[in-house]
Structure 1
Amino acid sequence: MASAIDTATADPEPAERAPAPAQRAARPAEPASRAQPQTNPPSPSRAEPRAWLNRLRRFRWRPVSPLTRRIIAVNVLPLLLLAVGFLYLGKFEASLIGQQTESLHTQGEIFAAALSEGAVLDSADEGEILLPDLARQMMRRLVEPTRTRARLFDIDGKQIADSRLLRGPGDAVQVIELPPVEHKGLLGRLTDRIYDWIAELVPSRHKHPPYRESDTGNAQDFGEAVRALRGESGSAVRSDPQSGGLVVSVAVPVQRYKQVLGAVMLSSGNGEIEEELRTVRLELLRIFGVALLVTILLSLYLAGTIARPIRRLADAAERARGRGARVEIPDFAGRGDEIGELSRSLREMTDTLWQRMSAIESFAADVAHEIKNPLSSLRSAVETVARIEDPVKRRRLMAIIQDDVERLDRLISDISDASRLDAELSRLEVAPTDIGAMLRALVDMHETTRADSAPHLTLDIAGPAGELVVLGIETRLSQIFINVIANAVSFSPPDGEIHIHAARDGRAVLVSVEDQGPGIPEDKLTAIFDRFYSERPAGEKFGTHSGLGLSISRQIVDAHRGRIWAENRTDAAGAVIGARFLIRLPAAPP
């Protein structure tokens, strides 16, 4: 025992300082090597780190998009909260404390039973007496296999034995257990520092009173020892300010035939609980680190599948805004998700805008061409009338000027109507419109106001009244039939007949307008709906029509999700006997 104690309390510094003379003796040889001149040029390999550092300085990290940061934060935050909750380990700590208390209580009962049987003197004069010297030796033997501290108090509360104090002829020697020598590398020390930093951030679930070493060595300084002297076992948990750990103490009464002769107090403060908590927490931190890495990688992948396509779409939209040429929008429709729908919608919107721009450019070119013709005629007539003195020729030129002015007025009115048609169709509210009643009103108005040689209109409506109802804008729907009827009237012979037929066609309303005119060339059945279509019937005064009527009608029908087309009427021999215009509009739901 003496040799073990001497070794434990000896100063280890002389053993560590023994090699110092050899080290000092070796140091004088260093200046000799430093004094040697460096004649060799620097190795080319030294330039490689500099070049690598220069490339690193030139490298610019691509900024992380806000969407990526939000996705990572949303995925990592619950994991962090879960990890912090795990690091509390309140129940696990309480379980360890309970196990430690139970183990010390069992050891204390063994110690108390051994002392009551082997260190008690049965005196006839004084009764049962606890022998201090014998009890001290037995305590030392009993505590050797354990790592606990044992203290023994007599019935008066005076400490008579302490496993940390060795008594002999001279003064008492205090035994202090040295911490084990650590052989940890840089990574281990770094892990310990990170753990200590995190452990300081995690608040303790339980607050324990501080442990203070007793100066008097009496049982009154420990509540559990006082309870043990009264015949009851007691325990306490305290925090050690020096080591930052916990000190668990259990006191058990030493009894002989139910008579309390003293108390044994066992204390465990060597950091076993903290070491268990540290092991579990480090394991949790390792698991958390792996889970965090996987979560971040998956978040980056998820953010890449979302943010990168959106960024490409935004860049394409930015390029399309700043250039006159058409920019192709990336196609992500194959993804089958919301980004694919967004890509498809942007592509369709871009195609529609380009078609609209092309239509506007074409419309502007057509308008310029159509206006240029009457303006040229008007300019020529104005320049000529100033040089002619013949009244007959002057009146003829003035009539030409008046016709050109009327033609310009009519053309500008139709152009204005066509240009504001889209905005009006998108702004006005649709309402149920009875096509049968509308056609009756148009036919009655024509028959009432027609000239003597104008063609007649006949109307045939199949089905009961109120069945031919569509959802649309009434004024614009009437403009369709006005334009089609006017076109049929202009191509019909004098006193001819125009037949109008209306009926239900499944879920739609079908209206046909048939005339007895010359028909339509087969290659012009579609072109007649183009703007400024100029082929007119023979004998009609030039400039009477602007060529926008059928184009406006088709525009209105398209806005109502309908269809308008033309075809020729033929007899049994296949000869063309007129034209037929058909308008199909979706019927209103019942």
Structure 2
Amino acid sequence: MTEKLQNLSNTGLYSKNRFSRLTLRILAINSVAIAILIAGFLYLDRYESSLIQSELEALEHQADLFSDAIGEVAVRSNYGTSSSLSRTLVRRIVTKSGNETPTRSRVFDAKGRLLADSMSLPGAVGNVEMKPLEPLSPNLFFRAFAESFYEQVFGLLRQRPFPMYRESTLQLASAFPEVVQAMKGTTLKTVRATEKGSLILTVAVPIQKYKRVLGVLLLSLEGKKIDEAVRSFRLEMFGVFLLTISITVALSVYLARSITLPIQRLASIAEQIRNDRGRHYTMPDFSERNDEIGELGKAIKQMTDNLWQRLDAIERFAADVSHEIKNPLTSIRSAVETAAKVTDSGKRDRLLAVILDDVHRLDRLISDISDSSRLDAELSRETFTKIDIKKLLQTFHEMTTSDRRPNIPFLMLNIADNEASHVVQGHENRLVQVIQNLVTNAVTFSPIGGTITIHCESDEFNVTIMIDDEGPGIPNSKLTAIFDRFYTERPTDEKFGMHSGLGLSICKQIIDAHRGQIWAQNLLNDLDEIKGARFIIKLAKENHSRTR
């Protein structure tokens, strides 16, 4: 068994690989679809853009309220000169607000100098920079692994198309284009990205008093909230992706193996049939599968059975041919040996006549055998065309009756349902050969002056041809055997050896090739006595021939 499997592997019909090419293709096709879907979720451009827009609108609203408050409270009026912002009051307001919100607030006066920064507290030891601490959370292993994986892999996807944000050591208005623009009285919102890829949202709002710009409020907010939301959503989608890809891979493997394993088994059996000379194999049964694999298994099993039947038929045919040829050869040999010993010229002439008859018999036999042996191959090569059986029978009847010889039975034609279609798919010459053989057979058994009738009927699915004679009929036990090769049941007054016994067998071969049916039955009178024989041919119509 091991050698057989090795041979099958060498021929390429059987593979020991865990996954076949078909399996890999199914996996690839299913995985690509999911990968494309998950890639769309990974970028999430629209989702991130909506979050950024929402944060900017909230930041702008906060900046408007804050600038209005500074404009009302922190403005210092100088008598005789223009009003300006009070550094002390501005710092007091900014410091108080900086402790309540994560937003960084910076206020610049009309000359572009920094008055206050919520991230720096003034004191004797210098400015102290303040940053909010990260919230405490359990450092779970999976979360740490997921975050590390996220930073390593998805960091490559965070190539954001925003200008770079760089913290300037000189906190002057000229270092911030949005502040310069706000000095002209317009509000400007910007989005920048740091070198690490995180977002910085800024809103620059003019501080006005009586529509006069006294300074600019610059609010900036790190986009950690946006990054956390996007990262959380991506991690959730990544978990869904892992679950989906696992299920997809499992189903793909199951689907692939449910396809490849049966095909591999069928390929193995086919290789055994090709290599083994006997019939020592077991065909797998896929009859329970209601799919294409089940149909393939049934087709291969039927094909194999038909192959063995054909081989058995060839063997029987060879044996029958050998037997049928030996009979005239034996007769010829006996006549030749006897003629050599006979001195009477009259007896010698009779022996020579016997030899001549046997030679003619042998010639007819060889011709019929040759025709029968080539018939299947020729029919498989010939192309079927549309044939109107009604016109075919009418033409055959006209040609046969036009040169009718004396003492030959009359040939009648009866076609029912003339308006119905009589078109079938087939080979015209071969169907004419069948009709000719059956009519010739009927002539042989019909009495002198008798009648042979050809009937033709058509229904929704089939065209039926019936050929009746007025002969002695067929023994009931031989109604099927008459279609066997070399079967001979001839009239008692017919000279021996005039027929090879292949005529009806050839008719059945031709009708079987047309996927039709042919059978014989006896015609009975009112007293249930045989009054003749009937041969029936049933052919499927053109629109139904492929389904039969």
When normalised by structure 1's length, the TM-score is 0.75
- Give, in angstroms, the shift of residue 106 of structure 1: 3.5
> Does the C-alpha gap of structure 1 residues 585 and 273 become closer, same or farther in structure 2, counting only changes over 3 Å?
closer
Give the drift of 1:549. Answer: 1.8
Asked if 1:422 is matched to 2:376, the reply is yes
1:149 maps onto 2:93 in alignment: no
Q: State whether structure 2 residue 404 is matched by structure 1 residue 441.
A: no
- Per the TM alignment, residue 371 of structure 1 is displaced from its structure 2 partner at its CA by 2.0
- Write the letter of the residue equivalent to 2:102: R
Determine if contact 1:111/1:142 at 8 Å carries over to the other structure: no
Report whether the alignment pairs 1:289 with 2:246.
Answer: no
Which stretch of the first structure deviates more once superposed, 85-94 or 133-142?
133-142
What is the identity, as a one-letter code, of the residue corresponding to 1:461? Answer: L
- SS of alignment partner, residue 288 of structure 1: helix
How is 1:353-432 mapped onto 2 (pairs within 5 angstroms)? 353-379=307-333, 388=341, 390=343, 392=345, 398-426=352-380, 427=382, 429-430=384-385, 431-432=387-388
Give deviations 1:260-303, integer Å, cap 9, x for gaps: 33222121126222112111221222233333333333444444
Counterpart Cα distance in 2 of 1:175 and 1:370: 116
Map of 1:501 onto structure 2: 453
Preserved contact between residue 470 and residue 509 of structure 1 (Cα < 8 Å): no
Q: Kindly provide the amino acid, as one letter, of the partner of residue 253 in structure 1.
A: P
Shift of 1:156: 0.8
Q: Offset at 1:569? A: 5.9
Partner of 1:260: 213
Equivalent residues in 2 for 1:573-584 (5 A)?
579-584=532-537
Alpha-carbon distance between aligned partners in 1 of 2:121 and 2:529, rounded to the nearest angstrom: 136
Question: Which secondary structure state, in structure 2, belongs to the residue aligned with residue 216 of structure 1?
Answer: coil
Distance of 1:258 and 1:77 partners within structure 2 = 60
Hey, what does 1:24 align to over in structure 2?
none
Gaps of 5+ in 1: 1-59, 449-454
Q: Does 2:37 match 1:82?
A: yes
Distance 1:465 1:118 in 2: 111
CA distance in 1 between partners of 2:398 and 2:414 (Å): 13
Q: Secondary structure at the match of 1:253?
A: strand
Aligned to 2:47: 92
Aligned pair partner of 1:546 in 485, 500, 519: 500
**Does 1:222 pair with 2:172?**
no
Deviations 1:423-449 (A, max 9, x none): 33441544334324423533554515x
Aligned amino acid, residue 455 of structure 2:
A
Q: 1:176 to 1:351 in 2, by over 3 A?
A: same
CA–CA distance in structure 1, aligned partners of residues 428 and 166 of structure 2: 97
After superposition, the C-alpha distances for 1:163-201 in whole angstroms (9 at most, x for unaligned) are: 333433344444456666775444333322432344245
CA drift at 1:135 = 3.0
SS at match of 1:282: helix
Describe the SS at the equivalent of 2:27.
helix
Does 2:527 align with 1:527?
A: no
Are 1:208 and 2:162 an aligned pair?
yes
Mapping 1:102-501, distance limit 5 Å: 102-124=57-79, 126-175=81-130, 184-202=139-157, 204=159, 207-241=161-195, 243-269=196-222, 271-323=224-276, 324-325=278-279, 329-332=283-286, 334-379=288-333, 388=341, 390=343, 392=345, 398-426=352-380, 427=382, 429-430=384-385, 431-432=387-388, 433-447=391-405, 455-462=407-414, 471=424, 473-488=427-442, 490-491=444-445, 496-501=448-453
Tell me, what secondary structure is at the counterpart of 1:187?
A: helix
Q: AA paired with 1:85? A: G
Q: Secondary structure at the match of 1:563?
A: strand
SS at match of 1:160: strand
Separation (CA, whole Å) in 1 of partners of 2:342 and 2:176 = 139
Q: TM-score, normalised by structure 2?
A: 0.80
What is the letter of the counterpart of residue 410 of structure 1? R
1:78-121 per-position Cα deviation (integer Å, ceiling 9, x unaligned)? 33222222222222222222232233333334443444455443
Equivalent residues of 1:484, 1:581 under 8 A apart: no
Number of residue pairs matched?
517
For 2:106, the aligned partner's letter is R
Q: Which amino acid aligns with 1:275?
A: E
Mean Cα displacement is larger for which, 355-364 or 421-430?
421-430
Identity among equivalent positions (%) equals 42
**Equivalent position amino acid for 2:161 in 1:** K
1:510 deviation in Å?
4.1
CA distance in 2, matches of 1:428, 1:262: 96
Structure 1 range deviating more: 527-536 or 434-443: 434-443
Asked which structure has the greater CA Rg, the reply is 1
Whole-Å Cα distance in 2 between the matches of residues 146 and 114 of structure 1?
16
Please state how far the C-alpha of 1:489 moved relative to its aligned partner. Answer: 5.0
